[in-house]
Amino acid sequence: MDKPVTSSAQETALACIDSIQPLLSAWTRTIFDFGETAWREYQSAAWYVDRLKREGFSVEEGSGGMPTAFCAHWTNGDGPVIGMYGEYDAVPGNCQDATTVKQPRPGLGVEAGGHTDPHSGLGIGSLGGLLATKAAMLEHRIKGTLRFTGEPAEKVRGSKPIHAAKGYYDGLAGMISFHPFYMLPLCNTARWDTHCGAAYAMIYRFICDEPENWGRAASDGAPIPQAHSAVRAPGANDALMMMYMASKALRDSMLTHQGGWSISEAILTAGQATADNLPAGLAEIQYMIRVPTIAMAEQVTAVLDRNAEAAAKMSGCRYERHWVSKSRPGLANHALAGITYASLATVGAPQWSEEAKAIAREVQVNAGGEATENPFIDELERLITPQEAEAILRRDLPPSQVNSTSDDYTDMSWHAPTSRFYIARPALRSASGHAYPSWAMNALGGIPTTIDPMVTCAAKTVALTALRLLEDKAARDAAMDEFVERTGGGAGGSNWIAPLCDYEAPINFRWPEYVTTPRGRDWWIPAASTA
């Protein structure tokens, strides 16, 4: 493992982040309060685009055919190209204000979007590292280019497979991927061997556009199709429910019971029948498959396809399958992981003030728990080496399972050396096994005093890693040599997995979003509570 090293340029970057910390705090809260969900992050993307332009970046808006994506560049002469990125999508049904009690953001109900991971801090932490790297490059005349992509819809693994297929990660000397910690032992560390796995997501659409063909023609002598006394086609709702139940029943037959894998579904649209005896004409259900390997994803897809075909035939419908995501499993890079962890070791684990702890104690009590002297779990303020974290992570995994859990940064790892690191976010200690509700974590992710330590630590780690790659050719070459070796020759090599994306961005579905109505700004499905 590399020893922590601090160059004069890195010192400049650290000082820059300290100087702009109040801005980073305010920006984090801004994105938190937007709370926009997948494919509909209009305000958040516009905010980033405006900020980056103000900072001297050239910005391609709507990159990859995605209205809420972007790709920004800043160049200081010929040199290595370093990649970073921001995410900013929130999650429906998690609207929480930045306060110590369970309370949605003003004017909204709990069903609206809210940040859970939180991507609000993820994006601003990466942005802070980007701006500090730029400042150091200018002051110390370091040549190179910074590329910063805006990545919408991570919760459905949306943008990165599309960006990857369209070449947005090509030509990078390294990609730096930060995420708030979400599971132990991956807290204040970098991933080593076991990276996230593959994922497929698709929407099955059932359409009942010829219900008159279900029954025998004019069998009851009705003068108009679908009259009250006529036999009614089952329709799209029935097709969807048969698909749903058949897939539930056959889940044990999709994959062998080995390794961690999951499949979840979400019914997106239903109930278009509004009068008389008309069957539902349209119904949609989305499946998200999270598995270690592409072969496993293909196996599940084959079962779902058969279920959809059968359900459609039984219901007088036809079906369509529309891709939301097809992403690859992650590829390790020890050289870059070592550089990133060395940077984190230089910065040190985040630390929380007494003010932050007092706020956390309020949340403990208001969330049904018991206030403790230290309201945070011990792991938040200490480091764990990638190798130690890897050993703990592997305890519950079969030796044959190479990848585990899910995130779409994995698509980046097949185009450039990629490091994935995690910084602690506030997580409450439980004195007596009390399970805290999700609103508590969400709130702590929006209160500046409790989330700022994560954002600052992440920004500094990103900047030190980027500058190490820019300044140290030997380190940069080691990361690239490992990438070439693992892929069997780089992009197109014998071990390389090509992009799986063969679809356009799924932006035209009825994804939940904020809308303006005669009642004011509201959340689409359902309306804000008036109680």
- Distances in Å between the alpha carbon of 487 and those of 192, 196, 331, 484? 16, 17, 9, 5
- Same-domain status, 176 and 72: yes
Ranges of the chain with pLDDT below 70 = 1-5, 216-231, 269-278, 525-531
In a domain, 402, yes or no: yes
| Cβ(150)–Cβ(71) below 8 Å | yes
The domain that holds 310 is classified in CATH as: 3.30.70.360
| pLDDT of amino acid 531 | 43
- Same-domain status, 65 and 168: yes
With tokens 């239903």, the residue in question is: 270
- Same-domain status, 162 and 38: yes
**How many domains would you assign to the chain?**
2
277: buried, middle or exposed (CB in 10 Å: 19+, 13-18, 0-12)?
Answer: middle
In a domain, 359, yes or no: yes
**Alpha helix (H) ranges present in 35-89?**
42-54
- Same-domain status, 217 and 345: no
| pLDDT of amino acid 8 | 97
| pLDDT of amino acid 25 | 98
In a domain, 493, yes or no: no
Task: State how far the Cα of 348 lies from the Cα of 125, in Å rounded to an integer.
Answer: 15
| Cβ(113)–Cβ(512) below 8 Å | yes
| pLDDT of amino acid 477 | 98
Boundary (domain end) residue, out of 295, 328, 361: 328
| pLDDT of amino acid 7 | 96
Which structural domain range is residue 54 located in? 8-195+329-487
Boundary (domain end) residue, out of 301, 328, 355: 328
| pLDDT of amino acid 164 | 98
Six-digit token pair at 17? 């982040």
The domain that holds 176 is classified in CATH as: 3.40.630.10
